[in-house]
Amino acid sequence: MHPAFSVIFLTTLIGVGQGLFLAIFTGQSYSAVELLPSENSIQFYAIGSMIALAFLFAGLVASLFHLGRPERAWRAATKWRTSWLAREVIVLPIVMCLVCLYGLMHYFGWDTMLFTSKTGAHLQLTLIVGGLGVIATFALFLCTGMIYAAIKFLQEWASPLTVINYLLLGTASGFVLATAFSSYSAPGLVTFYGIWATIITIAALLTRSAALLRNARIKYKSSMQTAIGVRHNQIQQKSMGFMGGSVNTRDFFHHQPRLFMKSIKWVFMLLTFFLPLLFLWFGIEQPNGAMLMMAFLVQYTGLIAERWFFFAQANHPQNLYYQAI
C-alpha cells in the first residue's frame, strides 16, 4: 500500500494522546490507594490532560488532510453498525471530551471525595470520570486497530497482532512522554513512569517483532495461477495492459526498492525501541529532563517510520496485475 502521511500522523498522534492520558490516570490511581504520593492537581493532572488533549486534537486535524471533502466527514459515523472507521469517528470525540472534562475537573477543583477507607484509600469523582475515559481510550485503540485488522485480503494486517501493536505502541509513547513530563512537574514520579515506560516499550518490541516474523512467513492466497484460474507452474506476465499510471498504481503500492524497505525496518526498530530505552535509562539515573524528552522525540520519529512501514508492507492482491514487468 502507499502510505498516506495524514493517516500516519493521525494514528501516531492520537496514540501518544491516549497513552499519556492512561499514564496520568495510572498515577492518580496509584495515589488513590496510597502507593504513590498525591500530586498537584493543576500542575500535573490538569496540564498533563491538556497535553494529551492537544495530541488527540492534532491527530484529528491531521486526518482532515486525507479527506477530499472534510465537511462531509461526519457522515462516516452513520455506518457505525458495519464499519470500524465509523466507530473510530464516534469514539475519538468521546475520548477527547472525557479527557478534557477530567483535566478541567482537576484545574477547577471539582473533585468531590466520594469514599475513604480506614487504610487511607479513597475514591474521588475525577477517578470515575477518568475511568470512563480509560474505557473509551481502549475502545479507540480497538477501533483504530480493527480498521486494518478487519481487511482480510491484506494478510499482513489481518491479525490480532495489529490491534495489540496499536495499543502497545501508543501506550508506550504516552508513558515515555509522561516520564519526561513528570521530570518537570512531578519529579517524584519519574522512576515510576520510567519503569512502566520501559516495560511497555519492551512488550511492544516483542509483539512488533512477532508481527514482522509472522509477515515474513506469510503464504499468500492469491497468485498468478489463482488470478487467471490456471494451475500451470510457469506463468509469466508480459504487460500491465497500458503504459501510463493510474490510481491503482499510485495508491496500492509504495514504489520503493527492496533495499529501502529493509533499511527502514531496522531504522524504525532502532528509533522506536532501542534508542528510547537507552535514553530512558540514562534519564532516570541522572535524572535528566532533556534526556527523557529526547527519548520521546526519538521514539515518536521511530513511530512515524514504523507506521510508514506498516502501511507499505501490506501487499494488495491487485498488484498481481499492476506489478512491474
Left if phi > 0, otherwise alpha if psi is -120 to 50, otherwise beta: which for 39?
beta
Under 8 Å CB-to-CB from 204, ≥6 apart: which residues? 165, 168, 169, 171, 172, 272, 273
Buried b (16+ CB within 10 A) or exposed e, 148-185: bbebeebbbbbbebbbbbbbbbbbbbbbbbbbbbbbee
Sign of CA dihedral 302, 309, 165, 133: positive
The reported pTM is 0.91
What average pLDDT does range 263-282 have in this prediction? 96
Tell me, yes or no, whether 159 lies in a domain.
Answer: yes
**DSSP states along 194-247:** HHHHHHHHHHHHHHHHHHHHHHHT---S--HHHHHT---S-------S-SS--H
Domain of 133, CATH number, reads: 1.20.1630.10
Indicate the pLDDT class of residue 101, thresholds 50, 70 and 90. very high
pLDDT of res. 309: 94
Tell me, what's the pLDDT at 167?
A: 98
Contact indicator for 167, 141 with CB cutoff of 8 Å:
yes
Whether 230 is in a domain gets the answer no
Rounded Cα gap, residues 17 and 15, in angstroms: 5
Domain that holds residue 167: 5-217+246-322
d(CA 135, CA 137): 5
pLDDT of residue 325: 47
For the stretch 216-265, pLDDT in tens is 998 877 777 777 778 788 877 777 666 666 777 777 776 777 787 889 99
> Count of domains in the chain?
1
Q: Which of 25, 11, 156, 162 is nearest to 88 (CA)?
A: 11
Q: What's the pLDDT score for residue 244?
A: 67
* 234 assigned to some structural domain: no
Asked if residue 324 has pLDDT above 60, the reply is no
Give the separation between CA 104 and CA 42, rounded to whole angstroms: 9
- In a domain? residue 236: no
Confidence of residue 307 (pLDDT cuts 50, 70, 90): very high
Distance from the Cα of residue 169 to its chain's centroid: 5
pLDDT in tens, 7-41: 999 999 999 999 999 999 999 999 888 888 877 77
Higher-scoring residue by pLDDT: 225, 139: 139
Question: 84 in a domain, yes or no?
Answer: yes
* Residue 74 domain-assigned (yes or no): yes
**Structure confidence by residue, pLDDT tens digits, 199-216:** 999 999 999 999 999 999
Using CA atoms, how far residue 132 sits from 28, 138, 169, in Å, is: 14, 10, 21
* Mean of per-residue pLDDT scores for the chain: 89
The H or E element that residue 139 is part of is helix 125-149
State mean pLDDT over 181-204.
95
Confidence of residue 1 (pLDDT cuts 50, 70, 90): low
